[in-house]
Chains A and B, each alone.
Chain A
Amino acid sequence: MNKNLQEQIIRSSGVNVLKCMRCGKCSGTCPSYGEMEYHPHQFVYMVERGEIEPLLKSESLYKCLTCFACVERCPRNVEPAKVVEAVRLAAVRQQGNNHLTPAQIPDMLDDDLPQQAIVTAFRKYTK
């Protein structure tokens, strides 16, 4: 249980995870469900329990499309996507963790990828 990280995520997401009534509609509606290790309702529940580390390490963070279907459908306005985004930000903010090195870039390039996206991604995922 990581209290600091939990508080940071709750604060930066602006989400009151205690509002969740565990109906699972977010996960019922999620288009990326199959690709996620942790599902939207689990994000909310795990943040509530302070289990942040497994989330930070999980690929699920980057599988969320931020389509906001869960936000739209949540009967109690919990806004799971904002929790996912907050965890993602927490991962990005972790000092010294470069999620991308310049050497990795050439492999990722393809013709359809806009230049700007590469630059943005690089900025976002490196320190």
Chain B
Amino acid sequence: MQRIGVFVCHCGTNIAATVDVKAVAEALGHEPGVVISQDYQYMCSESGQNLVKNSIKEHNLTGVVVCSCSPRMHENTFRKAAAAAGLNSYMVEIANIREQCSWIHKDIATATEKAIILGKAAVAKVHLNAPLTAGESPVVKRALVIGGGIAGIQTALDIAEAGFDVDIVEKNPTIGGKMAQIDKTFPTLDCAACILTPKMVEASQNEKIHIHSFSEVADVKGFVGNFTVKIKKKARFVDETKCTGCGLCTEKCPMKKVPNEFNMGLDNRTAIYIPFAQAVPKVATIDPNYCMMLKNGKCGVCSKVCSVGAIDYKQEDRIIEEKYGAIIVATGFNPIKLDKYDEFAYNQCADVVTSLELERLMNAAGPNGGTLLRPSDKTHPHTIVFVQCVGSRCDDSKGKPYCSKICCMYTAKHAMLIREKYPDTEVYVFYIDVRTPGKNFDEFYRRAVEQYNVHYIKGMVGKVTPKSDGKIDVQASDLLANEQLHINADMVVLAAAIEPDKTARPLATMLTTQMDTNDFFTEAHPKLRPVESATAGIFLSGACQGPKDIPETVAQASAAAAKAIGLLCKNSITCNPCVAHSNELMCNGCSSCEKVCPYGAITYVDKEFRMPDRTTAIRRVASVNPAVCQGCGACTVACPSGAMDLNGFSNSQIMAEVDAICK
């Protein structure tokens, strides 16, 4: 029989206001095996913990039940306290009487009754607890960064700085991501390329960083400290090791009518291409959808002009496999498609553009060499209307429910840059709210209004109508003047909502990390663990976790790196001892458990057994690798004989809880 101590926490009034804690302590004190039952103001406080520690020693306790907040909150606190008093940490069970009782119920009588039942269930479980010892598993000292935008680059640089090898997997031919497409950055108005490209070069030259561009993660196996990842290196039909990036092939390629995705399709590139001048790696890539040699075997110009013989039309996708201790997700974002917002005429009129398209239109390396011209007729626009919140802050059926966060600031930036460069231009910004929480952000926005005379109008554009004279009628409401406006504009710029990259969802499934309904990765704790996923060893960097501007992205990238470094520094990590184990005497060797194990933790061994009639027989029995097992319990249900059981959540423990609740 266990000697159990029960400790009921008041949590100030959080619990005590709706649960009669004294009655709970009293009732649980009568449960079999309970030798001491006490209540206390704050069990998690130092003195509360000391109460537990002293009671363990004084009453020689073999089990502890704490009736308090969720085990997700303080289970570890009390486990550590128990361990400090010489009791195995896994002899502690928590009855959740705050989140699952006092906070949701109002009637003291029924809430107290429920708290007692929850306590009884925990006592019943502790009776069947057994001391567990955690094993250890080694940590592979290498990190994988998925995504090579500013988030991924910063994370990789920081991890490399700490002395660990890092691989960056980037799906595009070059790293750089969205920041490489941006012209200037707010609120300083410095050139994005000027601050990004040195980092790209630094990443490519750092011998600890290995860039797999034009590659994708194909498969992830394993667990924290020991992931095995398959990376698909897509065929770029150019030998990366030979190509010098001279660009001769891109000049000679006869297929010149390929929409240039780097310039948002506003101009064209060739079938063999280098996305932009500062690309890293600066290696050409052949687009198989347009290359005539790959499509019908007629051409081969690039191969002829290449002086180093880097062109390889026969190249195929390659899978490489590598082991990592930590994985950092930095898959970033994209602007949403605007097809369903007919009212803004985005699909009907070339002069209605998205903000990212405007970045390219204004960029010196963009389609117009940095002169802002209307895409339709290449004339200088005199009236430009900016529309904020296009697809952001919508009802779910109409767009994204969240604020995309960066639009207010980049719109102010655009407006200001235009007014600076072309003072003859009238700029209107239709806003719902101007959101500028950030260092020097509101000052920046005020400058746009006060210094640059940008017309900020509180209201939303209702309708955009392209007219036959090439102008665009913008119909909107001015809520403060309480009037409807018509603006005869030359260009309309839509601040499209941003959404996570489409590759994030399948990746999350591979990584077994959680996502919210918008496909942003969910952090382990919204406040206290913002750069970790709930899955150990997987970290989150940048906009894959939620909309972010560049400084925030970089800050989070470094934070994720710090967390990853903290893991990589360790030689081994303590495993979760709540793993499955097989009772060989009962195991049939039927392989059911092996088939459902998501980690391949179960293998079979032939063992000799003494039979009842004193003969011996060799039987095939399951054996669990405790370092690989993650403790999901799928095997325990697949096992018909009940040979497979789970530490900490055994069949008998769960049934004891069921019995206690149903009594």
Complex contact flag A–B (Cβ < 8 Å): yes
Which A residues have a C-beta under 8 Å from some C-beta of B? 19, 21-30, 33-34, 39, 41-42, 69, 73-77
**Contact assessment for A23 and B432 in the assembled complex, using a CB-CB cutoff below 8 Å:** yes
* Pair A29/B482 contact, Cβ less than 8 Å: no
Question: Is B459 part of the contact surface with A, judged by Cβ < 8 Å?
Answer: yes
Q: Across the interface, do B398 and A39 meet the contact criterion of CB distance under 8 Å?
A: no
* A73-B458 CB under 8 A given contacts A21-B393, A22-B479, A28-B477: no
Q: Hey, which chain B residues are within 8 Å of A39, CB to CB?
A: 477, 482, 484
Residue contact A30 to B462, C-beta cutoff 8 Å: yes
Are the C-beta atoms of A30 and B395 separated by less than 8 Å? Answer: no
**Of B395, B397, B399, most A-chain CB atoms within 10 Å:** B395
* Complex-state Cα separation, A30 to B573, whole angstroms: 63
Is residue B17 contacting chain A, with contact meaning CB distance below 8 A? no
Specify which chain B residues have a CB less than 8 angstroms from the CB of A30 in the assembled complex. 462, 477, 484
Contact B479 A41 (CB under 8 A): yes
**Interface extent on B, as a size class?**
20 to 34
* B460 on interface, CB distance cutoff 8 Å: yes
Inter-chain CA distance A25–B393, complex, in Å, is 13
Give Cα A73 to B395, complex, Å.
Answer: 11
Q: Is the CB of B395 within 8 A of A69?
A: no
Closest to B458 in A: A24
CB pair A21–B432 under 8 Å, yes or no, is yes
Interface residues of B in 388-434 (CB under 8 A from A): 389, 393-395, 397-399, 430, 432
Distance in Å: Cβ of A69 to nearest Cβ of chain B: 7
Q: Are B399 and A75 in contact (CB under 8 A)?
A: yes
> With a CB–CB cut-off of 8 A, which chain A residues contact B106?
none
* B399–A26 touching, CB < 8 Å: no
Contact between A75 and B389, CB atoms less than 8 A apart: yes
User: B479 touching A24 by the CB < 8 A rule?
Assistant: yes
- Could you write out 9 A-B pairs with CB less than 8 Å apart? A24-B460, A24-B476, A25-B461, A28-B461, A28-B463, A75-B394, A75-B398, A75-B399, A76-B398
Q: Mark B479-512, 1 if CB is under 8 A from A, else 0.
A: 1001010000000000000000000000000000
Q: Which residues on B sit within 8 Å (CB–CB) of A34?
A: 484
Contact with A along B458-482 (1 / 0, CB 8 A): 1111110000000000011111001
Q: Which listed residue (B397, B432, B459) contacts A27, Cβ 8 A?
A: B459
Nearest Cβ in chain A — how far from B498, in angstroms?
A: 16
Question: Which residues of chain B have C-beta atoms less than 8 A from A22's C-beta?
Answer: 432, 479
Give the CA-CA distance A75 to B475 in the complex, in Å.
Answer: 16
| Complex: A27 Cα to B389 Cα, angstroms | 16
A28 near B476 with CB under 8 A, answer yes
CB of B343 within 8 A of CB of A73, answer yes
Q: How far is the CA of A34 from the CA of B479 in the complex (A)?
A: 14
Q: Which A residues are CB-close (under 8 A) to B479?
A: 22, 24, 27, 41
Supposing A28-B461, A28-B462 touch, asked if A75 and B395 sit within 8 A by C-beta, the answer is: yes
Interface positions, chain B 297-345, Cβ under 8 Å from A, are 343
14 more contacts with CB within 8 A, not counting A25-B460, A28-B463, A73-B463, are A23-B393, A23-B460, A24-B479, A26-B462, A27-B479, A28-B477, A28-B484, A29-B462, A30-B484, A33-B477, A39-B482, A42-B482, A69-B463, A75-B393
Q: Assuming A29-B475, A33-B477, A39-B477, is B398 touching A24 (CB within 8 A)?
A: no
Give the interface centre of B399, B459, B482, B484 by most chain A CB atoms within 10 Å.
B484
Inter-chain contact B398/A28, CB cutoff 8 Å: no
Which chain A residue has the least Cβ–Cβ distance from B341? A73
B398 touches A77 (CB 8 A): yes
Closest 9 CB pairs of A and B: A29-B462, A28-B462, A25-B460, A27-B477, A28-B477, A77-B395, A24-B477, A33-B484, A24-B459
Residues of chain B lying within 8 A (CB to CB) of residue A74: 395, 398
Nearest chain-B residue to A28 (Cβ)? B462
B463 and A29 contact, CB distance less than 8 A? yes
Please name the residue on chain A nearest to B388 by beta carbon. A23
Closest beta carbon of chain B to A31's beta carbon, Å: 9
- Would you call A27 and B484 a contact (CB within 8 A)? yes
